[in-house]
């Protein structure tokens, strides 16, 4: 079944929606560009994806997506729900992307709910680990290039508590996969 456009749903420029879920994959602390972007495009084409994102971007994939109550039933929420998809194992997922035009980097805004119930803008210390609960804030915009509307990831909101980051060190990565590495085996 063909997806409807934002215009067909009657969505207006500047509409917002928030989707909550658990991180499956994130590339939001660092932009997908350069050689990594070229490898990603090739990998996605090899997997049969017809239109991989070719522009520098940030991306996050979540499982068990739910539109938050405040936005449920709105035209933009109904539009976004078209992009929820089912994996072979029955798990429901959603992917959000923030595309950058030109050379400037415009990452999503990162907001963390503090213990005293205030929202604080933060910088990430790395990529997000699987299972981290997030809320993805998406917004519609008018496209100067094509004369129609688009939508994209604007902000990632984190609940109270510690943010769970992917391990960075080789030892932590090896532990995650059950490998044992002796320090004298490392080439540096």
Whether residue 72 has pLDDT greater than 70: yes
Domains for the chain: give ranges and CATH numbers. 11-177 (2.40.50)
- At residue 102 the predicted structure's pLDDT band, cuts being 50, 70 and 90, is low
- At residue 114 the predicted structure's pLDDT band, cuts being 50, 70 and 90, is confident
What is the DSSP pairing of strand 85-86 with strand 92-99? antiparallel
- At residue 177 the predicted structure's pLDDT band, cuts being 50, 70 and 90, is very low
Distance CA 139, CA 74 (A): 13
**Could you read off the pLDDT of 115-162 as tens digits, one per residue?**
888 899 999 999 999 999 999 999 998 866 666 788 889 999 999 999
Q: What is the pLDDT of residue 167?
A: 84
Whether residue 32 has pLDDT greater than 50: yes
- At residue 15 the predicted structure's pLDDT band, cuts being 50, 70 and 90, is very high
């Amino acid at each position: 079944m063909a997806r409807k456009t934002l215009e067909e749903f009657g969505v207006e420029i500047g509409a917002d929606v928030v989707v909550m879920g658990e991180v499956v994959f994130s590339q939001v602390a660092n932009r997908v560009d350069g050689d990594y972007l070229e490898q990603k495009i090739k990998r996605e084409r090899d997997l049969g994806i017809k239109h991989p994102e070719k522009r520098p971007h940030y991306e996050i994939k979540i499982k068990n997506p739910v539109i938050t109550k405040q936005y449920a039933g709105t035209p933009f929420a109904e539009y976004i729900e078209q992009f929820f998809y089912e994996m072979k194992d029955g798990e429901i997922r959603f992917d959000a992307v923030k595309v950058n035009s030109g050379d400037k980097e415009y990452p999503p805004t990162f907001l963390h709910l503090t213990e005293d119930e205030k929202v604080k803008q933060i910088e990430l210390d790395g990529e997000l680990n699987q299972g981290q609960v997030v809320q993805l804030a998406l917004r519609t915009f008018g496209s100067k290039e094509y004369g129609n509307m688009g939508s994209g990831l604007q902000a990632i909101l984190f609940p109270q508590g510690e943010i769970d980051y992917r391990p960075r060190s080789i030892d932590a990565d090896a532990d995650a996969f059950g490998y044992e590495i002796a320090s004298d085996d490392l080439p540096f």
